[in-house]
Amino acid sequence: MFDFLKTETASSTPQQIANSMRWLGWAGFWLQALLGFIPLLVVVTSVLFNPRQRQGGFSFGIFLAIACLVILIFSIYWCFRYTQLANKLVIRELRPAKSQVSRDLKLGLLANLSIMAIAVLIALSRVGELSFKMLTLPQGSTVITPNPTATMVTQGATIAPSTIIAIQAMVNAIAAGLVGAIVAIVLLYQLGQNRND
């Protein structure tokens, strides 16, 4: 079905392309939905339940994270749209032009590349900030953190669980964009094997 190394492959029929679009569309839909759950949860809790965000407004990082999630939600919908496009490819009278299908796949690819680029920018910023904080601490030092009930002596208190969850959310967003990009590239490749317009 997907033989990338063979130089002379047989032409893909619209039915084969429709089957691939249906299968890969559903796979992309569910994988992106599962991978996108953690970033969605992190951004919603950060925006709604972080008191610093309510006082000072939105930071540029939160704005980028929201933009990334909006594009991710669009990409999840676009993978579902591949399945609907597959249903149209099967029926000859409803079959869209090859150029329209190619344009739809390229739009999906562009959306997923945007997700990955934005998530990488956010990840570089957060990891760089965390690295800078860690490098400013003297080696082997103990951080004293004031607590409303008592003062606590903790080892390495600059890394909070929320920071690790935020980094996991960025990795999930990058993975979701990668899944969508792979789906679009494979479908574009198979569409390019179709000799008929």
Domain locations along the chain: 14-135+159-192
Torsion angle in degrees (nearest 10) through CA of 152, 156, 162, 168: -160
What pLDDT, on the 0 to 100 scale, is given for residue 23? 96
Residue type at position 82 = Y
Q: Let me know the angle formed at the C-alpha of 49 by 142 and 169, rounded to the nearest 5 degrees.
A: 70
Count other Cβ atoms within 10 Å, centred on residue 71. 24
* pLDDT at 8 > cutoff 70: no
What pLDDT, on the 0 to 100 scale, is given for residue 133? 78
CA distance 145 to 154: 7
Cα–Cα nearest to 129, from 159, 99, 170: 159
Cα–Cα nearest to 142, from 121, 126, 157: 157
Q: H or E stretch including 154?
A: strand 151-154
Query: Half-sphere exposure (CA, 13 Å, Cβ side) for 167?
Result: 13
* pLDDT at 113 > cutoff 90: yes
Q: How does pLDDT run across 36-85, given as a tens digit for each residue?
A: 999 888 888 877 776 665 555 567 878 888 899 999 999 999 999 999 99
What are φ and ψ of residue 143, in 5° steps? -100, 130
What pLDDT, on the 0 to 100 scale, is given for residue 9? 54
Query: Above pLDDT 90, what percent of the chain?
Result: 42
What are φ and ψ of residue 57, in 5° steps? 85, -170
CA distance 79 to 54: 34
Q: How does pLDDT run across 157-184, given as a tens digit for each residue?
A: 567 777 788 888 899 999 999 999 999 9
What are the helix (H) ranges across the chain?
Answer: 14-49, 51-56, 60-90, 98-136, 161-192
What pLDDT, on the 0 to 100 scale, is given for residue 131? 84
Torsion angle in degrees (nearest 10) through CA of 192, 33, 173, 133: -170
Higher pLDDT, 181 or 132: 181
Higher pLDDT, 56 or 108: 108
